[in-house]
Structure 1
Amino acid sequence: MTDEWFRWDGEDLLLWVKVQPRAARDAFAEVLDDAIKVRITAPPVDGKANAHLTAWLARQFRVPKSAVRIESGESSRRKRIRISSPSLIPSALHDSLKGAKTIV
């Protein structure tokens, strides 16, 4: 893992997340050193949490579901997620991501 919970890779945004399934609502939570905690309402069974997470992130970043890919951690609560060319930075993350350095 990196020292940060996000990184720009050209036009793509890489996020390191720690997922909390079965939450009361979907939301970005606190940053935990090298990951951002993401609360989702879906249970962690039969891929439901991953499907819910990618669909929710797609809505947050205003991209098609196909633009959100879990690159590692498919069966773990810790995941690395690639969001291809996000159209919008969610207000909860805006201050953290707006000045971030692009990695090519």
Structure 2
Amino acid sequence: MTWFRLTAAGGATLSLHIQPGAKRSECAGLHGEALKIRLAAPPVDGKANEALLRFLAQRLAIPRQQISLKSGQASRQKVVEIESVTAERLVALLT
């Protein structure tokens, strides 16, 4: 799997392709080497970015503070960093 990389600190970075304005928020498989996520939030005023971080926290059952957007604030291609997560948990809960 190339859409995530484990970090030395026990976390992971995720490569994501985001589709804002969808009917519902959900993981939608792979898009190239990124995990595609559809978001119900509109792509205005950072609403989709915040919705993405809340969605990931909810799916992984971790506090929102453990997830941060590292790059792609104004792009569909985003890199997200998650603290304290295992590869098994990512694959089980996001795919």
Q: TM-score range by the shorter chain?
A: 0.7 to 0.9
Change (3 A) 1:48 1:6: same
Q: TM-score, normalised by structure 1?
A: 0.79
1:34-73 matches, within 5 Å, as: 34-73=33-72
1:1-104 matches, within 5 Å, as: 4-10=2-8, 11-86=10-85, 89=89, 93-94=91-92
Q: Displaced runs of 4+ in structure 1, greater than 2 A?
A: 86-90
Aligned pairs, number: 93
Unaligned runs of 5+ in 1: 98-104
- Does the 8 Å contact 2:5/2:14 carry over to 1? yes
- Does the 8 Å contact 2:27/2:94 carry over to 1? no
**CA distance in 1 between partners of 2:16 and 2:93 (Å):** 17
**CA distance in 2 between partners of 1:66 and 1:26 (Å):** 20
**Bigger fraction of residues in helix:** 2
Unaligned runs of 5+ in 2: none
SS in 2 for 1:53: helix
**CA distance in 2 between partners of 1:74 and 1:95 (Å):** 24
Say which one has the larger Rg: 1
